[in-house]
Structures are given as C-alpha cells and as structure tokens.
Amino acid sequence: MPLDLFTVGDPIADTKAPMDVPIGERWSTRRFRARLVNPANRRKLTVIVVGTGLAGGSAAATLGEAGYKVKNFWFHDSPRRAHSVAAQGGINAAKNYRNDGDSVHRLFYDTVKGGDFRSRENNVHRLAEVSVNIIDQCVAQGVPFAREYGGLLDNRSFGGAQVSRTFYARGQTGQQLLYGAYQALERQMAAGTVEQFARHEMLDLIVIDGRARGIVARNLITGEVSTHFADAVVLATGGYSNVFYLSTNAKGSNATAIWRAHKRGAYFANPCYTQIHPTCIPVKGDYQSKLTLMSESLRNDGRVWVPKERGDTRDPRDIPEGERDYYLERIYPAFGNLVPRDIASRQAKNVCDEGRGVGPGGLGVYLDFGDAMKRLGRPAIEAKYGNLFDMYAQITGEDPYETPMRIYPAVHYTMGGLWVDYDLQSTIPGMFVIGEANFSDHGANRLGASALMQGLADGYFVLPNTINDYLADGPFEKVDDSHPAVAEALQEVQGRVQKLLSINGNRTPASFHRELGRLMWDLCGMERSEESLRKALDRIPEIRQEFWTNLKVSGDENTINPTLEHAGRVADFIELAELMCVDALHRAESCGGHFRAESQTPEGEALRDDENFAYVAAWEWTPEGAPPVLHREALEYEYVHLAQRSYK
Amino acid sequence: MTATREGATFASGTATDPAMAPHNMTLTLRIWRQRGPADKGRMVTYQVEDISPDMSFLEMLDVLNEKLILAGDDPVVFDHDCREGICGSCGLMINGTAHGRGTSGGPTTTCQLHMRKFKDGDTIDIEPWRATAFPVIKDLSVDRSALDRIIQSGGYISAPTGTAPEAHSILVPKKDSDAAFDAATCIGCGACVAACPNASSMLFTAAKVSHLGLLPQGQPERNERVVNMVAQQDREGFGGCTNIGECSAACPKGISMENISRLNHDLLGALRAGARPKS
Ligand SMILES: Cc1cc2nc3c(=O)[nH]c(=O)nc-3n(C[C@H](O)[C@H](O)[C@H](O)COP(=O)(O)OP(=O)(O)OC[C@H]3O[C@@H](n4cnc5c(N)ncnc54)[C@H](O)[C@@H]3O)c2cc1C
Ligand code: SF4
Ligand code: FES
C-alpha cells in the first residue's frame, strides 16, 4: 500500500471484555467488575448526551432515572423526530417465542456470520443476550407491537433469517420504539433529571487533560455558540449515509458530531463499510433530495427481473415471460429473491451496467407482484403491503397493483463509526459512543432488524452499566470558559461560522453536497476498485479547495439559518469522504458491504481475505496535511468459525 | 464497469431530458415571510420555473431556495427532515389547507405532496401553522414545543429501565393492541391544531390518551394522565374542542374523532374518581 495515503501505528485492542470467562459469562462478569457510583454521588455527576434517537433517547432517560444530571442535546425541534422514527421493518430478539430453534447463541451466530466476520464476538454476543430485555422493556412502556389473536406478540422472519425473531409494529417499528424512548425521556424532563437543549447542534468536543469534558454547541434559533461541561459525554448522533447526498437518511442526518470528535482524538473505525439497500425508489431527476426505502419484506412476494435484451423500452406488461430475466432466481437458485442486501444490490447494479436497467436513465429493475397477485389475490397483497404500495404510488404516480414497481439500491446505513471498546468508550476517555454512530456490532454488513436492537441495547442496558465504571473516578475538576482548551474550541467554532458566511462565492452548500455524493456513489459505492478510489482521492481535495473558496451562504448567523447549518455539515462530509476512500483503498478485499472489484471469485462473488484483513481498521486523525494513521485491532473468532458466505 | 454508468445517476427528468420537458410547470408562489417573532410578516410573491410534476412540494421549495441563496437573498425557512411522511417535522398551510389537503385530494404530510397535483400557471399560497400556542420562529417555521410539554405532563407509562416483567406476562387482545397502535401513529405534526378553527390540540392529546389507555400497562396512571394532559393543553394556550372535526380530516395519519370521545369519557371518569391536575 502506498505510504503517502496513510501510515501505520501501533495495534489497538479492547481491554474491557473479561476474556478469562466463557463468552456467555463475559457481560455479567463485566457488570460485576465495573465499579458502581452510589446514588448520592450520582447527583453530583453530569453527563452530556447528544442525540435523542433510539440510542440517545434511551440512554438519556435511563441515566436520568439512575440519578445522574443529564444534559440532552439534539438538532431537531422535538426528540421524537430523530431519524430512528423512519425505521420500518422490525427489531430482532432471541425470545424463541415461535419455538423454531432460536436462541441467544443462534442470534449471535447469525449476526457474526452476517457481518462477514468483521465484528467482535464479545460485543455481538452481549447484543444477543440483551435483545430479550429490550422487548420486555418496550412492552412495559406501552409500545404497541403486532399481536396475535391470543394476545401474544407476533413475530416474523426478516432479511433472510431462517427463524422468526423479528418483532414489529406494522411498517412503523422504529416510530413506535422511538416514541417509547421519547416518552420515557419526557418523563425525566418533567422530573427535572434531564435538561433539554432542543435545536442545538454540537460543533465541537472539549477535551481537557485527555478527558472529554464538554461540547461546544450552536443554538440553531439564535445562532448563539456556547460551551457545556460535564463529567462524561455520550454521542448518539446516528449514521453518516448522507455523505452520499442521496440516501434513505433524513435531510438533517450528519457526521458533524463524530467527525469533530474524531479530529479531537477519537479513532474512526471502518469508515468505508456502508450498507446499500436493494429496494428503494429510483432517482427521478437532478432535483431529487432524498431516497425512499421500500421495506425489504417486499422481496418475500415480489420477483425481481429485467428484460433479457438491453435497451428494451416496452411496457413491462408487454414483455413476455420468455424475454424476462429473473436474474436473482437464475444466479442464486437456493435463495432467489431473498439473497442478502449486498448481493441483491450488486446484482441490480450489474444488470443496469449491462444496459438492461429500466425506467429513467436505465437505473432501475422491476419488482413484480404479478405472480403473487395471482396466487394470493389482491386483498392479501393489500393487507400485507398496502401502506408501502400507497407510498410508492404517491411518490411515483404509478399504480404498483397494475404495473411492476421499479426499484434501485440506495445507501442506507453505515456500519463504520467511532471506535469504541466493550464499554462503548472511545479512544478519548470519558467520551462514549452509542447507536449507529459507533462501529461496534455489525461488522462489514448489518442484518435487517438489528440496528434498532443495537441502538436500544446500547442506550437502555449497556452504557448505563459501563459508564459507572468511568464516573466512579468523578466528579472531575471544575472547568469553565477561561480554560485555554475551552477558549480554543469556542474560538475555532466561531471562526468557522464566520468563515462559511464570508466566502461569498458562487455555489450553494447543496451544489457541493450533490457533487460529493455523486462522486462517492460512482467511485466508492456498490463496487470499488483501486482505480476508482484513486480517482476519488484525486478529486476530493479539489472539491474541498473549491468549497472553501467558492461557497455561497446567504442570511446571517443570528437567526435560524439552514443554509449555514448545511454548509458546516458538507464541510465535514468532504473530509470524511476522503477518509472513507483511504479506508476502502487500503482494504484490498471484498467483505460485506465493501466490494472490491479486484477481490472476487471466478463467479463474480465477493472474496474475503482473512489472512490479511481480519481486523478492524481504526483511523487516527493527524493535523492538517499529514496522512491518517492506521491502528489495527485484530479480530479473533473463538466461537464462530471463519467461513465464506455462500447463497447459491 | 463503474465507468459505463458514471454520470447517469442524476440524469433524468430534468429540463435536459426532452421527454420530461413539455410537462414542466411555471408557478407563482405567495409565501409568508417573517424575520422573527417580533416582525409582523407579509406575503411575498416569487416565480418558479421548470418544476417537474415528479418533484415533491419541498423539492420545489428547494429549487426556489437555491435561487434565493445565489442571489444573496434569505432563503425561505421551513421545517423538514425525513421527507417520507413519518418524522412530523414538515407542516405548511397550502392554499389555506393544512399539508395541502385541499390540493392533494386527501390528507397527507407536506413532504409527501407532489407537484403533479398542480397545474402549469397555478398560484400557490404558502403559510405557516397559525396558533397562539405555535409562535412563528421565522417564515414558515413555528415552535411546537407545547406538544412536547403535553407529553411531559403525563403522556407516558412509568416503567423505569430494567424493571420490566417478561413481555409475555402481559397479554393484550389483538383488537385493543391494534386500536392502540392506530392512535400511537400520530406524528406530532400539529396539522390538527392548524386546521382547527379553535386551534385546539385535542386530537393530538386524545391520540396519546387513547394509545396508553387502551393497554393494560397504561391503566395505573390512566386517571392522572388524562387530567394532567388536558390541563397542560389549557396552560399552553390551545383552544377548546367543539367537535368540528377539521382536525381529523387534516390528519395525515388518520387519527379518528373516536379518540376524542375516548378522552372525554376518560376525563369524566377521572374527575368522578377524584383525580385533579397537578398545579
Ligand atoms: C428508512 C430507514 C429504515 C430503517 N429500518 C430499520 C429496521 O427496520 N430495523 C432496524 O433494525 N434498523 C433500521 N434502520 C436503521 C436504524 O433505524 C438506525 O440505524 C437507528 O435508528 C439509528 O439510531 P440512532 O439513535 O443511532 O440515531 P438517530 O435516530 O439518527 O438519532 C440521531 C440523533 O442525534 C441528533 N444529532 C445528530 N447530529 C447532531 C449534532 N451534530 N448535534 C446535536 N444533535 C445531533 C439528532 O437530532 C437525533 O436526535 C432503518 C434506517 C432507515 C434510514
Ligand atoms: S393527530 Fe394527526 S394532525 Fe394532529 S399532530 Fe397527530 S398526526 Fe398530526
Ligand atoms: S419531513 Fe418528515 S414528515 Fe414530512
């Protein structure tokens, strides 16, 4: 690997998981060994939680209940709007209510394998253990999960799992789980244990004497930039899919909080691991502002196809059976339309690259319910997928009961994130990272219905136990604005805001964001090669340069100014994009969501290289100009044996 | 392989695509502009051209804002995030109806309203939610934190983390759980308040009272919940409910008036049982 792009530093390792006991006892052992903070002392300790999604909302509420003084920040107007609200499909838990052979061990096994052997066994095992408590907790809060006639909870099989372990609330599981956490959080706000900072954006982390001690935040309504101090800081700010501009994430989803923390010393792990979801509504035009996911469950009954001939523009209903290519069924006879997300996405790209894509721009494939309608009848299809069909019709103006849907892959989730140890603590002592913002549990590929599980596991059950061990050393020495490190961070944030407003060039933040996104999609998207990544790495610095000299932000800094907010986020996305490409380039293997063109089997399937790449890549930021430093965390598999995935 | 399709990603449905061009529209927008809470505010007229029928309403506003930014003018501020009808951030009065119901032919969220519902040459009025309890922050963005404070006053079940019993120890008849779910789908957008001639938040509050009151887990706090949430609505300055039904007609999630009957029933029961709001 070329040394100009990065340098290699010391290996890194998790030191918190107790390796002296078997895997099934590690979490209880860690809890037992972690120090406690007595209830009287908790009132003297302040914890900042940034984010109110499933991870942040559940953590803030739980820490508040435990008696800590919590300060909770988020950029939305209400905590209930965090993007977790948009999750559709469901949440996994190893309850084995169906008596179909599920168990903590099976969920653990499936998740390690699904992550293509790039996650930590210890973390995944704990996740599977805790999954059952999550369902209990949510039911107690009144989350209206789907039920059967006997009053018991219903389950479904999701994302190709062979057992039914997914709990769901129609197509709105994320919404209902989030409202459970939100209500618990509002209860703590009423009780005065959680102080709220709505419409505040975290713009920097304050590190003093090697410990995270606070944040710099901007009030998005008044523009005021202020400092906030605490004994520990928790980041729960979600994923960074919007580096691609078009994704299924909400418009405001951003990388700013984790990126600024990275620049203050937190290692960033596996930034190139991105999940591309196969069933989204295709792009319509230049003005497109985001992409909409259609639940994966559609693949249970829909058949994916494209015309056999390239450039066939006939109405799909006029194309006879013999002239259609049901390519997933053809290539993967065993799994057919239910192959995992990364495979379904890549094959859609392949057929479109061959010129057989359908719809505007040739970037789409059909998802056809014709057979299912014949077999089950329209009422059954309506009952199962009615809300999704309506959403599709509303967005595209086409009736999916009459004509096949058109779908195309879109960026959906980022497995990469800030590096954390078993306690969910980053490389900056006192800064913890939970939910999609950390890297820990999904390896190179996340299974369906497991992000909601992880967010709530982290927030309700893991962090509130592990953070005590750190806080047991507190309260730490008082700090205020007079401390040089604080003044420096404050000045830097204010300087940046001024700078963004003063460039007065000719391009809007959205225009740069679109350009960056398209570049990342084309060159660091579903398939990456050394050539494409080098091209991206040549181009990104040029975009960065132009951004800082030709940006136009109108309006001022003392009122709500979404253009200014967007500009700051795009600036961070540009820097993150560069690190993603370096990471993707250095990982010369295919694994999970990361498909390297040079690393495939003769049949064109992903080829992992365990010999050279069975590690977590944790990147250290170095001051301007110097290349990032790679720290490797070796991954060892004691319980699940390394094997290539096969879905043929 | 990558190279063959490079650049194709965004090329479609634009003015450069001849197949789409003839359908594109020119529209006149009359938009409420207000610099801040102290400003009086006024309607300002803008022209937008080349609007594709496939655009969403908010994408149309993006087009306008891009132009305003480049001209050095203040872009129009409006709230939005998920743009898929679930976060409840967006909310505009469009031609006098909440979320543009009058135009779309049925309730929807503003972000799910598409431009194919409009015609070339149309004039569209765009205003913020109007209610005493929702002060304008700027332009089309209003402060809806009053809804959060209603939830704070009792819209929860007290279940501290880690104390929950095994999930299957609580059986919930499917009928009740389905009805609770229907009520729980409220996204807190505030369209019900904006649509109501009294600017009442009754539908929002009733949705939460119903969701929790229909479940066995919600029984212990049922009386206190309803009296406190209703008292909080009054404190926030929302109007009283006179059963007009505009709220439900505008609600993008189909929250029904039945929920308000349930609230009234619960409220009466709670008062009879001696429950009184916390002061
Ligand atoms: C369309 C869609 C469908 C999905 N479906 C499923 C599914 O069925 N099952 C599943 O398991 N997973 C699903 N996922 C993934 C899952 O929803 C997310 O990974 C998860 O909800 C993320 O939760 P979070 O708490 O980490 O972050 P989020 O919910 O994104 O919350 C982030 C929070 O941080 C705040 N924030 C962010 N940046 C800042 C900042 N700089 N300053 C202050 N505050 C900030 C925000 O205001 C927000 O409160 C889906 C995702 C999408 C996009
Ligand atoms: S009841 Fe309907 S209109 Fe009112 S806030 Fe809820 S979703 Fe919006
Ligand atoms: S933007 Fe989320 S509901 Fe409209």
How many beta carbons lie within 10 A of that of residue A154, not counting itself? 18
Residue A366 forms part of a structural domain? yes
Token pair of A2, please? Answer: 């070329």
The identity of residue A529, as a single letter, is S
- Does the distance separating the beta carbons of A250 and B81 come in below 8 Å? yes
What pLDDT is recorded for position A2? Answer: 52
Distance in angstroms (rounded) separating the CA atoms of residues A537 and A545: 13
What pLDDT is recorded for position A180? Answer: 98
CATH number, position A584: 1.20.58.100
Together in a domain, A520 and A609: yes
Which residues, 6 or more positions from B275, have their beta carbon under 8 angstroms from its beta carbon?
A: B223, B224, B226, B227
The identity of residue B250, as a single letter, is A
Residue A131 forms part of a structural domain? no
- Region B61-90: what's the mean pLDDT? 97
Together in a domain, A380 and A296: yes
Q: What is Dmax (Cα atoms) for chain B? A: 74
Q: For chain B, give percent helix, strand, coil, nearest 5.
A: 40, 15, 50
Question: Which residues of chain A are within 8 Å of residue B164 when distances are taken between CB atoms?
Answer: 133, 136-137, 139-140
Task: Answer whether B159's CB lies under 8 Å from A184's CB.
Answer: yes
Nearest CA owner, ligand 2 atom 6: B186
**Which of residues 121 through 140 in chain A touch B, CB cutoff 8 A?**
133, 135-137, 139-140
- Does the distance separating the beta carbons of B83 and A77 come in below 8 Å? no
Q: Measured from the CB, is residue B187 less than 6 Å from ligand 2?
A: yes
How many whole angstroms from B124 Cα to the centroid of ligand 3? 20
CATH number, position A329: 3.90.700.10
Q: Measured from the CB, is residue B203 less than 6 Å from ligand 2?
A: yes
* A152: closest chain B residue by CA: B171
Residue A75 forms part of a structural domain? no
The identity of residue A166, as a single letter, is T
- Region B254-274: what's the mean pLDDT? 98
Element spanning A50, H or E: strand A46-50
Of A81, A176, A353, the CB nearest to B87: A81
- Sign (positive or negative) of CA dihedral B88, B92, B96, B102: negative
Percent with pLDDT over 90 in chain A: 90
- Tens digit of each residue's pLDDT (9 = 90 or more) over B114-132: 999 999 999 999 999 999 9
Together in a domain, A283 and A408: yes
What pLDDT is recorded for position A480? Answer: 95
Terminus-to-terminus CA distance in chain B, angstroms? 68
Catalytic residue among A120, A341, A569, A596: A341
Residue whose entry in the numeric block shows the structure tokens 């063959």 = B4
- Tens digit of each residue's pLDDT (9 = 90 or more) over A380-391: 998 888 888 988
Query: How much is the pTM?
Result: 0.96
Together in a domain, A518 and A604: yes
* A245: closest chain B residue by CA: B10
Together in a domain, A396 and A286: yes
Token pair of A76, please? Answer: 């939305």
- Tens digit of each residue's pLDDT (9 = 90 or more) over A26-42: 999 999 999 999 999 99
Q: Measured from the CB, is residue B201 less than 6 Å from ligand 3?
A: no
- Does the distance separating the beta carbons of B13 and A95 come in below 8 Å? no
Instruction: Among A412, A434, A454, give the residue marking a domain's end.
Output: A412
Q: Measured from the CB, is residue A436 less than 6 Å from ligand 1?
A: yes
Q: Does A302 touch chain B (CB under 8 A)?
A: no
How many beta carbons lie within 10 A of that of residue A647, not counting itself? 17
A42 alpha-carbon distance from chain centroid:
31
What pLDDT is recorded for position A300? Answer: 86
What pLDDT is recorded for position A189? Answer: 98
Together in a domain, A406 and A489: no
Which domains, ranges and CATH numbers included, belong to chain B?
Answer: 20-137 (3.10.20.30), 145-157+172-272 (1.10.1060.10)
Strand order in the sheet with A303-307: A274-280, A405-414, A365-368, A303-307, A324-325
3 state DSSP class of B44: strand
Task: Answer whether A437's CB lies under 8 Å from A455's CB.
Answer: no
Q: Measured from the CB, is residue B255 less than 6 Å from ligand 2?
A: yes
The identity of residue A80, as a single letter, is R
Asked whether residue B2 carries a pLDDT value surpassing 80, the answer given is: no
* B63: closest chain A residue by CA: A287
How many whole angstroms from B112 Cα to the centroid of ligand 3? 8
**Which of residues 477 through 516 in chain A touch B, CB cutoff 8 A?**
506, 508, 510-511, 514
Question: Which residues of chain A are within 8 Å of residue B86 when distances are taken between CB atoms?
Answer: 85-86, 172, 175
Q: Measured from the CB, is residue B90 less than 6 Å from ligand 2?
A: no
Query: Would you call the peptide bond into A475 cis, given omega within 30 degrees of 0 as the criterion?
Result: yes
Asked whether residue A160 carries a pLDDT value surpassing 80, the answer given is: no
Exposed, middle or buried by CB within 10 Å (0-12, 13-18, 19+), for B162? middle
Distance in angstroms (rounded) separating the CA atoms of residues A167 and A154: 7
Rounded to the nearest angstrom, the minimum Cα separation between A372 and chain B is: 26
Together in a domain, A283 and A392: yes
Give the CA distances from residue A45 to residues A48, A49, A190, in Å, rounded to whole numbers and listed in that order. Answer: 10, 13, 19
Together in a domain, A408 and A285: yes
Mean pLDDT of chain A: 95
- Does the distance separating the beta carbons of B72 and A464 come in below 8 Å? no
Give the residue among B247, B252, B212, B248 at the shortest CA–CA distance from B228.
B212
> Which of A120-134, A481-495, B92-106 is least confident?
B92-106
> Which atom of ligand 3 is the closest one to the Cα of B112?
4
Residue A460 forms part of a structural domain? no
Which residues, 6 or more positions from A321, have their beta carbon under 8 angstroms from its beta carbon?
A: none
Q: What is the DSSP string of A386-447?
A: HHHHHHHHHHHS--TTTS-EEEEEEEEEE--EE---TTSB-SSTTEEE-GGGB--SSTTSPP
Of B59, B65, B151, the CB nearest to A183: B151
Residues in chain A: 648
Give the CA distances from residue A380 to residues A48, A172, A515, B74, B220, in Å, rounded to whole numbers and listed in that order. Answer: 48, 19, 43, 50, 38
Give the CA distances from residue A185 to residues A56, A76, A283, A406, B82, in Å, rounded to whole numbers and listed in that order. Answer: 10, 15, 37, 40, 21
Q: Measured from the CB, is residue A56 less than 6 Å from ligand 1?
A: yes
Q: Does A319 touch chain B (CB under 8 A)?
A: no
Q: Measured from the CB, is residue B233 less than 6 Å from ligand 3?
A: no
Size of interface A-B (CB pairs under 8 A): 271
Asked whether residue B10 carries a pLDDT value surpassing 70, the answer given is: no
Residue A499 forms part of a structural domain? yes
- Degrees (nearest 5) of the Cα angle A281, A259, A450? 50
Instruction: Among A412, A429, A455, give the residue marking a domain's end.
Output: A412
Nearest CA owner, ligand 2 atom 7: B186
Distance in angstroms (rounded) separating the CA atoms of residues B193 and B150: 13
- Candidate of B80, B141, B185 to mutate for ligand 3, largest count of ligand atoms within 8 Å of Cβ: B80
Q: Does A222 touch chain B (CB under 8 A)?
A: no
Rounded to the nearest angstrom, the minimum Cα separation between B181 and chain A is: 5
- Does the distance separating the beta carbons of A146 and B177 come in below 8 Å? yes
- Region A5-24: what's the mean pLDDT? 97
Token pair of A53, please? Answer: 């999604």
- Region A162-180: what's the mean pLDDT? 94
Torsion of CA A185, A190, A191, A193, to 10 degrees: 60
3 state DSSP class of B175: helix
Distance in angstroms (rounded) separating the CA atoms of residues A125 and A27: 9
Together in a domain, A404 and A281: yes
Task: Answer whether B15's CB lies under 8 Å from A287's CB.
Answer: no
Which residues, 6 or more positions from A313, have their beta carbon under 8 angstroms from its beta carbon?
A: none
- Does the distance separating the beta carbons of A172 and B2 come in below 8 Å? no
Beta strands in B64-176 (DSSP E): 93-94, 97-98, 123-127, 136-138, 141-142
Token pair of A315, please? Answer: 């109405």
Active site includes A341? yes
Residue A386 forms part of a structural domain? yes
Distance in angstroms (rounded) separating the CA atoms of residues A106 and B205: 42
Distance in angstroms (rounded) separating the CA atoms of residues A565 and A60: 25
Q: Predicted confidence band at B12 (pLDDT cuts at 50, 70, 90)?
A: very low
Together in a domain, A406 and A488: no
What pLDDT is recorded for position A3? Answer: 53
Task: Answer whether A541's CB lies under 8 Å from A578's CB.
Answer: yes
Q: Does A95 touch chain B (CB under 8 A)?
A: yes
Question: Which residues of chain A are within 8 Å of residue B36 when distances are taken between CB atoms?
Answer: 559
Task: Answer whether A228's CB lies under 8 Å from B65's CB.
Answer: no
Percent with pLDDT over 70 in chain A: 99
* Bridge partners of residue A433, in order along the sequence: A235
ipTM of the complex: 0.96
What pLDDT is recorded for position B9? Answer: 33
Q: Does A147 touch chain B (CB under 8 A)?
A: yes
Distance in angstroms (rounded) separating the CA atoms of residues B274 and B65: 55
- Region A431-442: what's the mean pLDDT? 96
Asked whether residue A1 carries a pLDDT value surpassing 70, the answer given is: no
Rounded to the nearest angstrom, the minimum Cα separation between B180 and chain A is: 6
Task: Answer whether A52's CB lies under 8 Å from A70's CB.
Answer: no
Token pair of A200, please? Answer: 């505040």
Residue A602 forms part of a structural domain? yes
- Sign (positive or negative) of CA dihedral A543, A547, A553, A559: positive
3 state DSSP class of A254: coil
A53 alpha-carbon distance from chain centroid:
12
- Region A570-585: what's the mean pLDDT? 98
What pLDDT is recorded for position B15? Answer: 36
Based on the structure, what is the number of domains in chain A?
A: 2
Question: Which residues of chain A are within 8 Å of residue B128 when distances are taken between CB atoms?
Answer: none
> Which atom of ligand 1 is the closest one to the Cα of A257?
41
Of B12, B74, B163, the CB nearest to A283: B12
Residue A127 forms part of a structural domain? no
A496 alpha-carbon distance from chain centroid:
27
Question: Which residues of chain B are within 8 Å of residue A597 when distances are taken between CB atoms?
Answer: 1
Together in a domain, A488 and A408: no
Distance in angstroms (rounded) separating the CA atoms of residues A626 and A624: 6
Together in a domain, A283 and A407: yes
* B164: closest chain A residue by CA: A137
Give the residue among B111, B128, B102 at the shortest CA–CA distance from B246.
B102
- Does the distance separating the beta carbons of A79 and B70 come in below 8 Å? no
Supply the range of the domain harboring residue A307.
277-412
**Which of residues 398 through 457 in chain A touch B, CB cutoff 8 A?**
none
Q: Measured from the CB, is residue B128 less than 6 Å from ligand 3?
A: no
- Tens digit of each residue's pLDDT (9 = 90 or more) over A334-365: 889 988 888 899 999 999 999 999 998 899 99
Question: Which residues of chain B are within 8 Å of residue A172 when distances are taken between CB atoms?
Answer: 86, 185
Element spanning A616, H or E: strand A615-620
- Tens digit of each residue's pLDDT (9 = 90 or more) over A599-635: 999 988 899 999 999 999 999 999 877 999 999 999 9
Element spanning A183, H or E: helix A173-191
